[in-house]
Structure 1
């Protein structure tokens, strides 16, 4: 049995979007709207990169500690080792996830103001596919 995978960045929901794919997916034809979308996406992606830079050491340490505890738990056949790890994960990940959620909310509000209802629904659907838990904290 292989140990469970844990990707702290994924759990914190820190993702960036490919602007060209988004514009293509939403079928944006007007240059002015596509420039605005590019501007908002670039801002969002920069914020995500800043969050990643800010929290990368913490998240990497969390992954290393998780892997170490999983190996110990498997060797000892004792899962009690993991309960402390769960508490630590629940302490570290939610504040980062909340920051991501706030930036997503700003992005969604900005896009909602420039997109048609149909395009906005496509965006929300794309966002949900790209990050299944993106609209929930």
Structure 2
């Protein structure tokens, strides 16, 4: 009898701690296609361009790049919006239906990959133009800035309250070991 009650309590505890799947993140088609624009004045500050001539050439290259990206975005605006509304409306049903997930993934590949490839071509042209203009150190900063801008487009996964780690976890694990702080 005691065992049955104990098992009942344990089972109830496991059911209470069971996690429900996280909610579907809002899909942004422009972010997944790497469509973004560089802030021209911010770039000059971040890569620490001081010579006025180099600043002007850098600004011109960035303005040309931004204009090309605006053209790509304008030409593909309708396709991106349709894809975005489709994924956001059907998103929660994808977990239960793998065929629907495959169809959505195929649709994403058809729409997003050509856009991403054309943007990548323009980025390579921009990078080669900036490489000839900037010093090695400035070009290295430019690549770091560019990488950070692309990372900011990625969606962050939501953290649930159940995944938080207590602050006192493993407090005693280093006791008696060399090189421990305490």
TM-score (norm 1): 0.89
Q: Are residue 128 (structure 1) and residue 152 (structure 2) matched?
A: no
Q: Say if 1:69 and 1:85, in contact at 8 Å, map to a contact too.
A: no
Q: Which whole-Å deviations, capped at 9, do the CAs of 1:89-109 have from their partners, x for residues lacking one? A: 111111100000000001000
Q: Are residue 89 (structure 1) and residue 98 (structure 2) matched?
A: no
Q: Which whole-Å deviations, capped at 9, do the CAs of 1:98-129 have from their partners, x for residues lacking one? A: 00000000100000001000100000011001
List runs of 5+ in structure 1 lacking aligned partners. Answer: none
Q: CA deviation at 1:73?
A: 4.2
Q: Say if 2:40 and 2:59, in contact at 8 Å, map to a contact too.
A: yes
Q: CA RMSD in A?
A: 1.9
Q: Are residue 41 (structure 1) and residue 62 (structure 2) matched?
A: yes
List runs of 5+ in structure 2 lacking aligned partners. Answer: 1-21, 153-182
Secondary structure in 2 matching 1:131? helix
Question: Which protein is bigger by CA-based radius of gyration?
Answer: 2
Comparing 61-70 with 43-52, which one deviates more in the overlay? 61-70
Q: CA deviation at 1:6?
A: 1.2
Q: Are residue 69 (structure 1) and residue 83 (structure 2) matched?
A: no
Q: Say if 1:41 and 1:107, in contact at 8 Å, map to a contact too.
A: yes
Q: CA deviation at 1:4?
A: 2.7
Q: CA deviation at 1:72?
A: 4.3
Q: Which whole-Å deviations, capped at 9, do the CAs of 1:56-81 have from their partners, x for residues lacking one? A: 1100000111122224447xx43432
**Cα distance between partner residues in 2 of 1:57 and 1:16:** 19
How many residues are paired up? 132
